[in-house]
Structure 1
């Protein structure tokens, strides 16, 4: 596989998203510290991530209307520039008002930024197949993006904590504004090939002619992605697997992992940090592994995804039953490669299953649905933790992943039925 499969606009897209993700981590850390320092309320601080998910869900619902009006690079530029301007306003406001800041206004600006961010990931993932010179490079491109996402998560939280501690929350926000500005500037280099609007990129599944022929009313535009997911067995299956997996995935949110470390492992907060670091290190390693074996995976995306889910589910079950801290570190380190094998191949399967013209709408619908599922999962898992106990909660998460695996095994016929001639799933 040659690196020429990845075009210059793809590298601009990769860079702008990495910078934007880094800015997100910085500003969330800085704002969380600021809110905690001034309100001394954990509820106020915890409200921010929930509000961000809600805003992104609402944004995904109306994104199809914007996708019909703007080209993907223009929409990405609008999102990044809008976030940059809003964040500059937020940073300046906090600098001028200090402790007198009205947090209703702060949260309103965060909501607006999250709303703009809601169509960034669907637009990015829909752009990737258009910016890859050959379909064989698609898995490699997704692996690179996943690696950079995980590196930002892995290094970002630790570094942002140091930056906030050294500079203070308010100056950190000004640094973040500069990073957002760089992200917006790099977006100017994301140019969609002219032929992308004229030619249909080959996919493993033919587009649904009945959907494509439907009248382009506003309601049709808003619901088109949802209809395609429902009518295509392959997409319906992948989305259902995603939902089941997401229901259990929320157990890796900080509060649950801390409770597990304290209750099951009998350790303090320092081991909570070790567990988180080991998990992110594993996901970074997993992304690099998928990148290295992308040629070997070839078109066997379904098999690779199912192997990833099986390994992740089994390791999660062992982790839940384990009481030794060092073994727990090894287990979460091993989970990362299996998790990435599952996630990257599932994303690539979705990109290859839908015509590039409707892919953004499909991804927007999926993003809205998964944001809603994640919010519900957080609330449900919190209640179940009180009832079942933290160990059983992780066992439940393992069962859900293995259930999603079972759904994939039972429904694999959908991939054979919709595969292009010669495709090997």
Structure 2
């Protein structure tokens, strides 16, 4: 069910994610240490998300021209070179850094990383057949959460013990290993000898004719967006993702810290306990999907909606609770149902689109959700000062409930079996 290249893909993305966590922690500490500005430190994740959003808009142009393994390798190679230059600069210039240069490098690294997740998620259904797709998504999601859970804690220890410079060198080594694994990935649906699409002939005249027949760049860029809007199942899943993203921003660290200190009346150490419990729950949820894949295979839609509804109930109980230990239990239970819903949704999207259109659809969806997440963060932060942190969590639960309602109201769209094909034309 899982091809050999899937394990290479799984490995390279796990190592690359670990490198991301380590370098963000080290760089954030370095910026904060030398500027004493929380705003300057926040610019590191801000530039990452903003750059990935822009990259997602342009990703369809690359997807239509190059094979997915080559895009992944190009992304890893570019990040390795850029980060190598940044690391050398920070080591050679230990004080008085030009942070305009640093943030520029972060921006371009994130731009290259912007098409990695859509390309990875588009490759998974090509490397995992039948029941293997749900299992593959569960494995990837589980390791993503393990890296996030362990990475942030270990990165803090590494920075404290090794210092920022040596921690950055470790991250550079991880990027190099990830790049090496990426070279081993093969797409079984494409010719391994020709990574450059549309240039399969040495005849200059044939190349010119082929280029004339190609759709315009604007058409290629909007093809994924058109598919999201015109295909009933994709439209429903996208609405659910977008709405859920609005409510999901309540779990950002600053909101969790505010809840711990004002609602639970505990110190910042409980902030760490809450985060650890959540990640432990999401890891358990991913493992649950992997072990129960046979039973979930024909109930993916039911698993998705059930996970969302249970999540809403647990979030409401969490918001109304004032006991720290009960909060740990509730947040631990929230993780599995969150993962169950997210993995099911991703699997449904992958099965709803033809392999050639899927990367463009995932790029469009990633761009949309990143944008909504940024807007939601600002809106929820403003609203928290107005109505209080408890009402923020209740509002988030209500928003997620509306996402589940959208799925139930459009249940018929999930009975369609044939995936959306290409080409897509604008029907306006």
Report the secondary structure of 1:266's partner residue: coil
Check the 8 A contact 1:245/1:401 in 2, yes or no.
yes
Shift of 1:135: 1.9
Report the secondary structure of 1:98's partner residue: coil
Unaligned runs of 5+ in 1: 198-213
1:303-322 alignment, distance < 5 Å: 303-322=302-321
Check the 8 A contact 1:80/1:180 in 2, yes or no.
yes
Check the 8 A contact 1:17/1:183 in 2, yes or no.
yes
Whole-Å separation in 2 of the counterparts to 1:196 and 1:148: 30
* Counterpart pick for 2:138 among 136, 143, 165: 143
The superposition leaves residues 60-103 of structure 1 with CA deviations (integer Å, 9 ceiling, x where unpaired) of 00001111111000000000110011000000000011112100
1:103-118 alignment, distance < 5 Å: 103-118=99-114
Question: Which residue does 1:211 correspond to in 2?
Answer: none
Question: Which residue does 1:24 correspond to in 2?
Answer: 20
* Counterpart pick for 2:90 among 84, 90, 94: 94
Whole-Å separation in 1 of the counterparts to 2:418 and 2:300: 14
Question: Which residue does 2:249 correspond to in 1?
Answer: 250
Whole-Å separation in 2 of the counterparts to 1:7 and 1:164: 37
Check the 8 A contact 2:227/2:361 in 1, yes or no.
yes
The superposition leaves residues 218-256 of structure 1 with CA deviations (integer Å, 9 ceiling, x where unpaired) of 111000000011110100000000011000111111111
* Counterpart pick for 2:64 among 65, 68, 76: 68
Question: Which residue does 2:339 correspond to in 1?
Answer: 340
Shift of 1:44: 0.5
Check the 8 A contact 1:29/1:157 in 2, yes or no.
yes
Matched, 1:186 2:184: no
User: TM (normalized to structure 2)?
Assistant: 0.92
Report the secondary structure of 1:298's partner residue: helix
Matched, 1:285 2:280: no
Question: Which residue does 1:370 correspond to in 2?
Answer: 369
Check the 8 A contact 2:126/2:189 in 1, yes or no.
no
Question: Which residue does 1:153 correspond to in 2?
Answer: 148
Question: Which residue does 1:393 correspond to in 2?
Answer: 392
Shift of 1:12: 0.2
Question: Which residue does 1:222 correspond to in 2?
Answer: 221
In the superposition, relative to structure 1, how do residues 295 and 196 fare at CA in structure 2: closer, same or farther (>3 Å)?
A: farther
Unaligned runs of 5+ in 2: 193-212, 420-428
Check the 8 A contact 1:122/1:363 in 2, yes or no.
yes
Whole-Å separation in 1 of the counterparts to 2:93 and 2:190: 50
Check the 8 A contact 1:130/1:196 in 2, yes or no.
no
Shift of 1:195: 5.6
Check the 8 A contact 2:139/2:286 in 1, yes or no.
yes
Shift of 1:414: 1.2
Check the 8 A contact 1:56/1:114 in 2, yes or no.
yes
Shift of 1:26: 0.1
Check the 8 A contact 1:23/1:180 in 2, yes or no.
yes
Whole-Å separation in 1 of the counterparts to 2:23 and 2:189: 36
Whole-Å separation in 2 of the counterparts to 1:254 and 1:411: 33
Question: Which residue does 1:35 correspond to in 2?
Answer: 31
In the superposition, relative to structure 1, how do residues 136 and 196 fare at CA in structure 2: closer, same or farther (>3 Å)?
A: farther
Shift of 1:196: 8.0
Whole-Å separation in 2 of the counterparts to 1:261 and 1:405: 28
Question: Which residue does 1:168 correspond to in 2?
Answer: 163
Whole-Å separation in 1 of the counterparts to 2:340 and 2:24: 28
Check the 8 A contact 2:309/2:401 in 1, yes or no.
yes
In the superposition, relative to structure 1, how do residues 196 and 345 fare at CA in structure 2: closer, same or farther (>3 Å)?
A: farther
Check the 8 A contact 1:67/1:361 in 2, yes or no.
yes
Shift of 1:420: 4.7
Shift of 1:7: 1.2
Whole-Å separation in 2 of the counterparts to 1:196 and 1:311: 45
The superposition leaves residues 97-127 of structure 1 with CA deviations (integer Å, 9 ceiling, x where unpaired) of 1112100000000000000000000000000
User: TM (normalized to structure 1)?
Assistant: 0.92
Matched, 1:85 2:81: yes
